[in-house]
Amino acid sequence: MTLARLCGSLLKKYRHGLFAVLTITGLVAPAKAATLTVYAAMGYGARLAHAFSQATGIRVNLVHLSTGPLLARVQAEAARPQWDVLWFDGNLAMREFAHRRILACGWRPAVDYLPQGRALLPPDRCYYPVGVTLAGVVLVNERRLPQKAWPRRWSDLLDRSLRDKVGMDNPAISGPTYPFVAGMMQHLGTAGGKRYFSRLKANGLRVFPRNSATLRALQYGQIDVAVVQSSAALGMAARHPGLRVLAPSPSILLPSDIAIGAGVHGPKLRAARRFVQYVLSPAGQKILLTDKATADSNYEPLLARVHPPAVLAPVAGVHALVLDPAKWGPMEPAIVNWFTAHVTG
């Protein structure tokens, strides 16, 4: 047998052990781990992804979009999802994605949820609650509106003294706004909720695309009252003296949820689970709750030994209405279409 044939035979026989040795010694580079693609609508997503990569060595491709565009992208990619992990505010859409079987189900992260967190964890374990905000609170410009005119109940927004002075986001564009609209319909009944929003329109309701536009209209005096997500309202009030946050009863609870794609398998699935676990770990929660660059940090945590930020004081103890995602998720297209035709239009 020639030397070449002998070497070839030995290499074939011992190739696995030889590759392992060469890999350990650095003579052969190990295969690079696949990059984890995360679609997130959370302002602290980039900081969290960087910290996760530093802690684990797993690379993250973060695609950051506001909730409405992010949900539209997920819908467009339903047949061939381009994401591994999905993270945004609103379990109504998550429930729909679970129903359509585009989420991986059955696994539960090893975390110590508080009772509220356990109540929000779906029985099929298709998505995992991270924290909660309120889908709609009232932000008042104290300098333009006397205290006696402050709307402390949802019905107060219909008062003639607030004609043309109230603004809110468009549920067709702003993801967190549909849960607010659905919550009012759960509270008042679907017909009663439609009458309420129709009366708001008759009283001069201004509908803006999303939080940033609504808050800008409040800041520049186009409106005196803004109905927006609590995290955005609290962030705006903290930066601009003269704004007051009010939480009429009931306020609609809005969970932030994270999920893994149904098509994620093998090492990438393990990486995705590590990412979810990191988001829900004390280290991850600290990053989320202390990111001063984003109002998204103004949320109520759902995990034991994780303390809420002091900025939540104006909405602490509010009566929160919890939506049934199985009921209101499938109704979103019809309700948003109704809102577009009768309130926005």
Q: Give pLDDT tens digits along the chain (345 positions).
A: 443 443 344 334 433 333 333 222 233 333 456 799 999 999 999 999 999 999 999 999 999 999 989 999 999 999 999 999 999 999 999 999 999 999 999 999 999 999 999 999 999 999 999 999 999 999 999 999 999 999 999 999 999 999 999 999 999 999 999 999 999 999 999 999 999 999 999 999 999 999 999 999 999 999 999 999 999 999 999 999 999 999 999 999 999 999 999 999 999 999 999 999 999 999 999 999 998 888 999 999 999 999 999 999 999 888 899 999 999 999 999 999 999 999 998
Structure tokens at 167: 């603004």
Domain co-membership, 265 together with 193? no
CB 134 within 8 A of CB 228: no
Domain co-membership, 224 together with 279? no
Q: Would you call 310 exposed, middle or buried from its count of C-beta atoms within 10 A (0-12, 13-18, 19+)? A: exposed
* Residue numbers of the domain that contains 214: 137-252+328-344
Q: Which amino acid is at 296?
A: D
Domain co-membership, 126 together with 143? no
Residue 304 covered by a domain: yes
Q: Would you call 201 exposed, middle or buried from its count of C-beta atoms within 10 A (0-12, 13-18, 19+)? A: middle
The helix (H) or strand (E) run that includes residue 131 is: strand 128-134
Residue with tokens 């803004």: 226
Phi first, then psi: give them for residue 35, nearest 5 degrees: -75, 140
Domain co-membership, 175 together with 268? no
SS3 103: strand
Domain co-membership, 168 together with 220? yes
Instruction: Please tell me the distance from the alpha carbon of residue 256 to that of residue 247, in angstroms, as a whole number.
Output: 19
Domain co-membership, 42 together with 117? yes
Report the largest interatomic distance among the alpha carbons of the chain, rounded to a whole angstrom: 101
Domain co-membership, 219 together with 196? yes
Domain co-membership, 215 together with 335? yes
Q: How many domains does the chain have?
A: 2
Residue 21 covered by a domain: no
Residue 305 covered by a domain: yes
Residue 1 covered by a domain: no
Instruction: Please tell me the distance from the alpha carbon of residue 180 to that of residue 178, in angstroms, as a whole number.
Output: 5
Domain with 200 in it: what CATH number?
Answer: 3.40.190.10
